[in-house]
Copies of this chain bind each other. A is one copy, B any other.
Amino acid sequence: MKISDLKFDADGLVPVAVQDVDTGEVLLIGFANEEAVRQTFDKRLATFWSRSRGELWTKGDTSGNRLHLVEVRYNCEESTLLYRVRLEGDSACHTGNYSCFFRTLDAS
């Protein structure tokens, strides 16, 4: 299985969940294109494609809260990724929270 064999969508992207290997918590969901996956391996840092800014984005470049790569897993259909990482610092979220998923949704 090569990076280029992943089933990128019409925009050239796959969704990526990021999991802290030390706690098991899901920290965030991003998107990656082929180059973002390559840079994740090259830098050993979780890297994404920002859909809003239209650019590659290595988490922590600004904040210092880098996500150090442990491994990349891919799903049965080769269309989604799981970055398993170690968090540098204590917050993966730009709000200062540990995880981006710090709120619970109600049925409303």
Contact = CB atoms under 8 A, between A and B. Distances in A.
A95 B107 contact: no
B107 A94 contact: no
Interface of A: 1-3, 9, 15, 17, 19, 23-26, 28-29, 31, 37-38, 41-42, 51, 71-77, 80-82, 93-95, 97, 100-108
Leading 7 A-B pairs by shortest Cβ distance = A24-B24, A41-B107, A73-B101, A17-B17, A29-B80, A75-B100, A15-B15
A29 B1 contact: no
Total copies of the chain = 2
Contacts of A100: 75-77, 80
Given A17-B26, A74-B105, 18 more contacts: A1-B105, A1-B106, A2-B108, A19-B26, A29-B29, A29-B75, A38-B107, A71-B105, A72-B104, A72-B105, A73-B102, A73-B103, A74-B101, A75-B101, A76-B97, A77-B100, A80-B100, A82-B101
